[in-house]
């Protein structure tokens, strides 16, 4: 059985292939071509363990992933894990994958699918709150979807921001990277805002209507008690786009607005409906919430495995 480490996964395919693989995962999930059981989610304090299986036509995959926010204090990855790829006919394990890297790559590709279908073509100012491993990959992938001129970043750790700048400019030296003074500075001066934090309270401002006409991508809230966006934003949304409807039972950024009747259930739209041109976009303010699903791991692992076979 082959093991693919972080470097191998990162170099296996261009960004465009990752994004195309995630679009295929969206469509195949929506049309019932693959089976995606709801993931098992276990919590111990602030730490989480997720078990995520997915059954395709040629392969099935299982991801074991741990989320330990406290690792930031020790300069260790918050997300670690392993993905196993098996033959669907025999059950034989074919390969294992570094789960942290595969998750970072496929989640960044999912975020870029949101940018591709929801953000105006002329949008060129990106803002990212939370610039750890996930925020870094989000930035790299978005730069393949839009011609970014300015990138504003914000993180509670100055060291994380400095490392981000050093790594990012090695890829995109022509993009102006700006350390935002605060969240309102970042939000007002960005056309697209991505949040990739483990916060349990909103990380963007609640007032000022700064969100009007912007594209918002929420990556971080994957538990009921986690929030990245305040209530007021949801009152102004015509539609709320999601990667999976499972998020309605998992993410505080979906559960709380629905419970408070800030949005209605019929406003929540799977982004697969946009990809398949089953819905029309309403309003200039766009919001996409990603909580992740095992289909992304299967299609990412399949792509790496077949690219390097």
Share of the chain above pLDDT 90, in %: 87
Do 265 and 301 share a structural domain? no
Do 94 and 147 share a structural domain? no
Q: Which two tokens stand for residue 275?
A: 């990809």
Of 7-16, 42-51, 184-193, which gets the smallest average pLDDT?
Answer: 42-51
Residue 109 lies in a domain: no
Residue 11 lies in a domain: yes
Do 172 and 277 share a structural domain? yes
Do 167 and 251 share a structural domain? yes
- Domain range for 85: 2-102+295-308
Q: How far is CA 217 from CA 11, 221, 234, in A?
A: 25, 11, 13
pLDDT over 80 (residue 79): no
pTM score, two decimals?
0.92
d(CA 278, CA 300) in angstroms, rounded, equals 25
**CATH number of the domain residue 14 falls in:** 3.30.1780.10
Do 301 and 285 share a structural domain? no
Mean pLDDT for the stretch of residues 250-262: 96
Residue 86 lies in a domain: yes
Do 17 and 158 share a structural domain? no
**CATH number of the domain residue 254 falls in:** 3.40.50.720
Mind giving me the DSSP string for 40-106?
Answer: EEEEETTEEEEEEEEE-SSEEEEEEEEE-GGGGGGT--SEEEEEEEEETTT--EEEEEEHHHHHHHH
Q: For residue range 103-127, what is the model confidence (pLDDT) as tens digits?
A: 999 999 999 999 999 999 999 999 9
Do 271 and 201 share a structural domain? yes
Q: Which two tokens stand for residue 62?
A: 């299982």
Tell me which residue has tokens 């089976």: 35
Residue 114 lies in a domain: no
Do 268 and 229 share a structural domain? yes
Residue 191 lies in a domain: yes
Candidates 272, 294, 298, 300; CA nearest to 26 is 272
Do 244 and 218 share a structural domain? yes
Do 300 and 283 share a structural domain? no
Mind giving me the DSSP string for 282-304?
Answer: -SS-EEEE----HHHHHHHHHHH
Cα torsion for 191, 195, 196, 200, to the nearest 10°? 170
Residue 47 lies in a domain: yes
Do 177 and 84 share a structural domain? no
User: What pLDDT does residue 77 have?
Assistant: 78
Count the domains in the chain: 2
pLDDT over 80 (residue 44): yes
């Amino acid at each position: 059985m082959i093991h693919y480490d972080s470097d191998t996964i990162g170099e296996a395919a261009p960004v465009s292939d990752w994004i195309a693989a995630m679009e295929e995962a969206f469509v195949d999930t929506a049309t019932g071509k693959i089976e995606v059981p709801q993931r098992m989610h276990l919590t111990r304090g602030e730490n989480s363990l997720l078990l995520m299986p997915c059954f395709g036509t040629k392969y099935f995959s299982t991801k074991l992933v741990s989320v330990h926010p406290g690792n930031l204090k020790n300069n260790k990855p918050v997300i670690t894990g392993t993905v196993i790829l098996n033959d669907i006919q025999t059950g034989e394990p074919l390969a294992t994958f570094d789960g942290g890297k595969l998750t970072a790559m496929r989640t960044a590709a999912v975020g870029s699918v949101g940018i591709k279908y929801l953000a105006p073509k002329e949008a060129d100012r990106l803002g990212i709150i939370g610039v750890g491993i996930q925020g870094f990959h989000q930035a790299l992938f978005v730069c393949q979807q839009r011609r970014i001129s300015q990138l504003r970043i914000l993180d509670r750790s100055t060291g994380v921001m400095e490392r981000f700048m050093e790594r990012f400019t090695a890829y995109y030296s022509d993009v102006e990277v700006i350390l935002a003074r605060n969240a309102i500075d970042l939000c007002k001066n960005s056309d697209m805002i991505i949040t990739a934090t483990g916060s349990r309270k909103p990380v963007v401002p609640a007032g000022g209507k700064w969100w009007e006409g912007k594209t918002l991508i929420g990556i971080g809230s994957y538990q009921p008690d986690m929030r990245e966006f305040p209530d007021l934003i949801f009152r102004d949304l015509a539609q709320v786009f999601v990667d999976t409807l499972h998020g309605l039972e998992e993410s505080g950024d979906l559960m709380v607005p629905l419970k408070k009747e800030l949005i209605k259930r019929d406003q929540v739209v799977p982004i697969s409906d946009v990809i398949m041109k089953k819905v029309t976009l309403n309003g200039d303010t766009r919001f996409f919430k990603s909580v992740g699903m095992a289909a992304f791991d299967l299609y990412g692992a399949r792509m790496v495995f077949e690219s390097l076979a």
